Amino acid sequence: MHAARDAGDLDRRLFLAAAGGAVAAGAIPRTVRAVEAAHLRQPEDADDAPAPEGISLRTIIEAEKLARMEFSPEEREQILNSIEGLTGLYDAIRGADLANHEGPAEVFDPRLPGFNFNPRPRRARHERISPGAAPDDETDLAYASIAELGAWLRRGDVTSVELTRLSIERFKEHGPRLESVVTLMEERALEQARRADDELSRGVDRGPLHGLPWAAKDLFDTAGVRTTWGAEPFKDRVPERDAAVVARLGEAGAVLVAKTTLGALAYGDIWFGGRTNNPWNLEQGSSGSSAGSAASVAAGLCAFTLGTETYGSIMSPSTRCGATGYRPTFGRVSRAGAMALCWSLDKVGPICRSVPDCAYVLDAIAGPDPDDESTVGVPLNIDMTRPVRGMRVGYLKDEFESDRATDEDAETLRTLERLGCTLVPRTLEPGPYGGIIFFIISVEAAAAFDAMTRSHADRAMKWQADQAWPNTFRMTRLTSAVEFMNARRLRRRYMRLAGALFDGIDALVAPRRHGALHALTNMTGQPAATIRQGFRDDGTPFAVNLWAPLYRDADLLALAAALEREFGLWRRRPPLFS
């Protein structure tokens, strides 16, 4: 008995040593009489038990309710005898002072065993256009496509400085109504525009985005310019380096004009300055979290924007604001220098006015980056000239035949058939997809902003509703690590399920904004596109979403562009900004 007891005491001492000596090992031993007495106590007397750091048998009993477990009196006493080692380890971990960008050792990879790809990259192919002369009307110029603007720039009809000044003026005039701008980068933008004009005049052409004004969601670092993450505790934060995507767009010659709003810490459309509004209805929020990016591009304030998505933050505001949103396959685009919300789920993608515009931007920002281990070298190989006839498009048959499907949903299927696509019925088995993804996000995000929660800096945040981050982060401190690990195991099962769902098809479509597919594919990494599908009686837009198998971004872009052309809606402008 003594040998067994000594071995157990040694195990506890080793645990304490691993915790950095945060708790004195000598505080653990108890007399046999005290242990026996504790076993005889009833729960209502548990508060009288000897307690390390205020933890008593009553604490364990109450914690069981959160864990949905029930232990015996002997098991509770064992936990109480050992708990100091765990709390000591917590103190040691907290003392490490982890920064937001320091992710976990495990890097999410959406590829299942047996995944293969052609490693040979090809130059992107885009449809050639020959637009007429640049319009005299500045609003027409503000809403022009990337291809049109590029043609006029190279022909000398307009200059980058003119386009940039137009963007700056529109941000100044309309940004306050939309509440879509955190920082206007006027001086830096005009300097970049002058450089772009000089290079183009000397025959230096950096590509389709050269000289075009764009805006970045304010969670992408910009050297010397504040990057606020939309939240009060970080509103004066000024990084020293540009995010990877900001640097890549700079190399492509694009002109960064503004930092756009996001819901605080990438959730919703409420930021420290107010609520970002829908350009089609200013009484309505723009949805989030890429709120300012979607609202700004839909209102013609810049040529294109960037957003991020963890669980709908590109697709949702694009739907609300009538923008075209594209969420690439997980790992297509580097997140280095972007605020981390959920390391295993965050994705960076373009928000534009059309699918071809998204293709131009994605081509400029995609590719592996040693500073983001989640990025992979699967070639993008965009080909916007490829025919979509013969594509196999899956559709959720039960959903399209249900009451939730609309006339517009039925017309979408007919349009795909007119384009020569083969419709393939698919079924998505029910599951707690939304609950599981939010559970994973909550835990990772609570870890990413742990220091803010522990310092109570979260109390300064504008949005304090039950569903807002401050309460979520506090509540998540009580989460079971076992349940979190099992949720990750369930995510692996969902990866296999998604692999079967997308097997043998080139794309997948569902009625309107399908919540289950958004949750599932954000967890499993498939790309998605949002395009306008129609307009309600009140004039606000709604969208249809398409998904594709992993790394089939090029096919999805080609199909979404063909569907967008058939709908003929993408050029329609919000009346208040036209």
Which residues carry out catalysis? 217, 289, 313
Cβ-in-10-Å burial (0-12, 13-18, 19+) of 195 comes to: middle
Q: Which residues pair with 199 in a beta bridge?
A: none
Output DSSP code: residue 324: E
- The DSSP string of 47-63 is GGS--GGG--HHHHHHH
Q: What six digits make up the tokens of 524? A: 């499993």
Strand bridging mode 324-327 / 528-535: antiparallel
Record the tokens describing residue 291, joined without a space: 């709120």
Cβ-contact 279, 299 below 8 angstroms: yes
Token pair listed for 88: 């000591």
Element containing residue 320 per DSSP (H, E): helix 315-321
Length of the chain (residues): 578
Using CA atoms of 75, 76, 77, 82 in order, give the dihedral in degrees to the nearest 10: 90
| Torsion sign across C-alpha atoms 514, 519, 522, 526 | negative
Q: How far is the CA of 178 from the CAs of 66, 98, 160, 174, in angstroms?
A: 42, 36, 25, 6
**Going by DSSP bridges, is the β-strand pair 507-510/324-327 parallel, antiparallel, or unpaired?**
unpaired
Give which of 265, 314, 278, 313 is closest to 462, Cα–Cα.
Answer: 265
496 close to 516: Cβ distance less than 8 angstroms: no
